Amino acid sequence: MKKVPLIVRAVTSLVMLLLVGSLFSRAQSVVAPQVADSLINITRLNDKTLLMGLAADAVTAIATQKGIVIIDAGISGSLSSQYRVILEKELKRNDFVYVINTHGHHDHTYGNAAFTKATIIAHENAIKEIHDQWSDTAKVHAGLKKTLKQFDERLAGFPKGSSEWQEVFCQRTRYNCAYEDAVNHVEVRYPDRLFIDTLQLSMGDIHLDMIYFGKSHSESDIMVYIPEMKMFWVGDLFFKYGRPSFDTLDKQHLYQYRKAIAWITSRSSESDIVINGHGQIMDKGDMDSFIEIIKKKI
């Protein structure tokens, strides 16, 4: 028998040990899920802009002269890492410079971790909002597990492979990515460039205008506008037909709501495209309806 040097044997044993360890950990289902690329939607909004995501994730990527800007990062770091790889192939570049969080909810911010070199921009209230959501990790795990169970119950009610089943399956897969990330301690990446009222960013060929809307769907809702594209991003503030995602407004924020409405009105035009935080592509009519509803409340 050929004599194997001790160091080689030691390394071989270590590799075997790691392999067995990784197989064991797979059995314990701690490996971050890899989602089939075919389940991930990708829409080209214009020559610079892509909107992508699995189910209700809506991550926008804008290729500018000064780097790629992401608006909303999705529900999971591992899932958004997969989006990032697809984006790099589509855009043929990987210079992600900014991620803008439209608000602090976990399904818009946990994906921040995928864009390691980018500066994360958000309203200043997002820090506390994100911190509060993650202060009790056991509660986060239990909450996500409960959501997965609810999806499983809904799945059982549809014939496997039907369009309803497929839709719920994609939502379940999306939440499962967040659950797996949470139990695997994927980092929660906090915003590192904050603003209070408005923020303007020049990216060379395009400009980004941001405004804090005032306390409404969350404590940190902002809108983003790109004048060169006549496009608004409104996060979860409203859905199709201008349907707001909140019932009441805070009297202490009346000044801010009025200011935000004036800001929107001064920018709005007939050809506006309005993107919401879960991928709905809307128009000026939806924005006008939302403004009418808010005006009645203030």
Residues that bind Zn ion (CB under 5 A): 105, 236
Q: State whether residue 271 is helix, strand or coil.
A: coil
Question: Smallest distance from the beta carbon of 236 to Zn ion, in angstroms?
Answer: 4
CB 52 within 8 A of CB 40: yes
The residue among 105 and 189 lying less far from Zn ion, judged by its C-beta, is 105
The residue among 105 and 215 lying less far from Zn ion, judged by its C-beta, is 105
Question: Smallest distance from the beta carbon of 130 to Zn ion, in angstroms?
Answer: 12
CB 50 within 8 A of CB 44: yes
The residue among 236 and 286 lying less far from Zn ion, judged by its C-beta, is 236
Question: Smallest distance from the beta carbon of 8 to Zn ion, in angstroms?
Answer: 55
Question: Smallest distance from the beta carbon of 26 to Zn ion, in angstroms?
Answer: 33
Question: Smallest distance from the beta carbon of 107 to Zn ion, in angstroms?
Answer: 6
